[in-house]
Amino acid sequence: MAVIEGRNLRKTYTLSRRNEVRALRGVDVSIEAGELVAIMGPSGSGKSTLMHLIGLLHSPDQDHGPAPELSLGGRDATRMSDGARTRIRAREMGFVFQQFNLVPTLTAVENVMLAGEYAGLGRRQARERAIARLTTVGLAERATHRPSELSGGEQQRVAIARALVNDPALVLADEPTGNLDSHRSAELLGLIRKLNREHGQTFVLVTHDAEVGAACDRIIRMRDGLVQAMELVREPTPDDVGEAAA
């Protein structure tokens, strides 16, 4: 079943009356539950914008073309209240933003806990989960550091732990390996593959890195605000399907 179904997705940013950027010019996209998908393409091709629409952070434009459609797990996102969108984001999705978006005054563990508490976990459970996820990404010993006391790669791993704290069905990650060295990057890909296989979590990774793309099931290639090509990297095996359904 498609977990995300989007059609006619357009987004124009208006900088001034004469200066508009057509970031997405009519994109159709469909992502299956349990898929691990990469979105690749040159800088400025609309990858982050597409991720923000899929993640219900922004809404597609209604004007200048056929009506946009966006459904999430069968629910029509174009008709949802802001409250419903916020709830789905907090409970069902995990985000890794390109700029991490960590709260500078909170420690690593507090940053991760916050996402758990937004999703309705009690403080104690949020703390336990936060420590477990920081351990998963190899940062347990940095739990009480603030972002300014962490390297770029460490901040990125805190952002990843935060995205995973609620065991979300859908993880959206914008350049999740952008600040990691090749060893850490391979390690993170291994973790993503494992979560994808063992828990059936769906991952959409925006990436520049060909090795990240090659580790995914499918690559959506974007150019100038359009989907240029879809490439199947590997056929899902019966094993994947069986494990995802279990």
Task: Determine phi and psi for 17, rounding to 5 degrees.
Answer: -60, -30
Task: Between 53 and 244, name the residue whose CB sits nearer to ligand ADP.
Answer: 53
Q: Which of 8, 30, 48, 71 binds ligand ADP (CB under 6 A)?
A: 48
Q: Give yes or no for residue 176 binding ligand ADP (CB under 6 A).
A: no
Q: How far apart are CA 175 and CA 172, in angstroms?
A: 10
Pick between residue 53 and residue 112 the one whose CB is nearest to ligand ADP.
Answer: 53
> Is residue 48 near Mg ion by the rule CB under 5 A?
yes
Find the shortest distance in angstroms from Cβ 163 to ligand ADP: 18
| Bridge pairing between strands 75-76 and 69-72 | antiparallel
44 touches ligand ADP (CB under 6 A): yes
Could you tell me where the beta strands, DSSP code E, fall in the chain?
2-16, 19-32, 36-40, 69-72, 75-76, 93-96, 170-174, 202-206, 218-223, 226-232
Interface segment toward Mg ion; rule CB under 5 A; list 21-29, 43-51, 144-152, 162-170: 43-51
Residue number with CB closer to ligand ADP (40 or 109): 40
* Residue 7 neighbours by CB under 8 Å, 6+ apart: 28, 68, 69, 70
Name which of residues 14 to 33 contact ligand ADP (CB under 6 A). Answer: 15, 21, 23
Choice from 16, 19, 43, 237 touching ligand ADP (CB under 6 A): 43
Which among 191, 207, 199, 209 is positioned nearest to 170, based on CA atoms? 199
What's the Rg (C-alpha) of the chain?
18
Residues that bind ligand ADP (CB under 6 A): 13, 15, 21, 23, 41, 43-49
